[in-house]
Amino acid sequence: MAFLSVIRRWHFRDGFSIREISRRTGLSRNTIRKYLRSDTVEPKFKVPERPSKIDPFAEKLSGWLKAESRKPRKQRRTVKQIHADLVSLGFEGSYGRVAVFARRWKEDLQRHQNTTGRGVFVPLAFEPGEAFQFDWSEDWALIGGERIKLQAAHTKLCYSRAFVVRAYLLQTHEMLFDAHNHAFRVLGGVPRRGIYDNMRTAVDKVGRGKARQVNARFSAMASHFVFEPEFCNPAAGWEKGLVEKNVQDARHRLFQPIPHANSLEELNLWLEQRCQSLWEETSHGVEPGTIADAWRVETQFLMAVPRPFDGFVEHTKRVSPTCLIHLERNRYSVPASFANRPVSVRVYPDRIVVVAEGQAICEHKRIIERHHGQGHTVYDWRHYLAVIQRKPGALRNGAPFADMPDGFRQLQRHLLGKPGGDREMVEILALVLHHDEQAVLAAVEMALEAGVPTKTHILNLLHRLIDGKPGTVPPVRAPQALVLGKEPQANVERYDTLRGDKEVRHAS
């Protein structure tokens, strides 16, 4: 380029002829004329075709990229994953070469389809402890050997970019509240603002501009954690671009390949630990160091986490004559004393609590089914003890009593074959209402082992267990021969001492 500059200066500034420039440079006059006529400032050289390590894999890579472009966006492989698959086939090139190939392939596809990128956006900057962003996504996992679609809750601090992902089966209010409880616990504090889209669990109605009619329970949660909720404009996901990017990254980091777990609790524990390890491995990009380094700085500006928000959703239900309440196509038992009465049902992510007269009367593990079947019935046999005391015959075929412990069921099989066995079995089960259930069960098992499964013997064993006495009485060892210490005397005159001085009249 410096040589071309000299030729242009000699000709246009110093007035040298082309012949003189040719003599001085040794270039032909035609070459000099070509440079001067084309008004070229920078010389251009044709890049020769060179063989590349990716050439043998170009056709296969193009096929992969075409197949990935037809998949749903959430299920596409990243270029890093494609590079790893190529390496397994024998490719020895770098990731950068594959990335360049994929970028050029995408540009050619866009030119062919007359499309462009998604647009241009303004980068955002946040102060430590200023805000966090929240969003939902749908992903898949193998839980207990079954492929299940999950709703993943993403919470990300805007300054340090520390993030937490937690999986649920639904996107309901109680799941949203539980996600915030765990997110603030893991992040170590609460920022001043929370940025959301217009999800139905938070916004009841979208008004003009920034006007929103916020859900009452969501407002209660925001007031409990003392942060100000802000909502993006409709269809403006770039206003919370940090968490939108986190949804995309987490899908490739956490859910591809599909994770395996025995339960949802085990999966969430793994997700929490994996997120924290990614903080240490991922560079922040703006601040020096990793995400974990920036997070340690931001924790000093976060408000301390208060007690967990009691994030339940409450429904009013009427207990049926069979002591059941209906919720989400499933049925749960309630103590018989509340049959045919209204109760409040508090729904949590993993359990339901039935409340009446200002106190919790029972609790069940929540069942969430995606298919629209007839649902399940969850019994607690203790809830029906008051009923069988009046109707002992119902014990024989009562559905709730099929889930009793094995000791009670063995005793039932023994007693129901005897006259009055129904009543005796009911009276033994009723002991659970006044004594510890494990103590009653232990007494029943001891009576079965001793071969004396009766109510009297069970009561005796139960009181011994409660008093801390041994359940078995040591045997009495009698001597081989008994010897009287004082021999009795055959003297009938001693009965005369019973007579008084006066004649005693006896009834005849």
pLDDT tens digits for 125-178? 899 999 999 999 999 999 999 999 999 999 999 999 999 999 999 999 999 999
CA–CA distances in Å: residue 18 to residues 13, 111, 254: 13, 44, 68
Task: Characterize the bridge pairing of strands 330-333 and 377-378.
Answer: parallel
> Taking the alpha carbons of 85, 262, 143, 310 in that order, is the dihedral positive or negative?
negative
Q: What pLDDT is attached to residue 508?
A: 47
**What is the rounded distance in angstroms from the CA atom of residue 162 to the CA atom of residue 229?**
19
Element of type H or E holding 362:
strand 359-365
Peptide bond into 229 cis (omega under 30): no
pLDDT score of 119 = 56
For residue 13, what pLDDT is reported?
83
268: enclosing H helix or E strand: helix 264-281
Contact 329, 390 (CB under 8 A): no
233-262: b (≥16 Cβ within 10 Å) or e? eeeeeeebebbbebbeebbebbbbeebebe
CB–CB of 153/165 below 8 Å? yes
| pLDDT < 70 regions, the chain | 1, 38-48, 114-121, 470-474, 476, 478-479, 500-508
Distances (CA, A) of 246 to 134, 175, 254, 280, 325: 10, 20, 11, 16, 41
Mean of the per-residue pLDDT values of the chain? 88
C-alpha–C-alpha distance, residues 384 and 395, integer Å:
10
Are 274 and 252 in contact by the 8 Å Cβ rule? The answer is no
pTM: 0.70
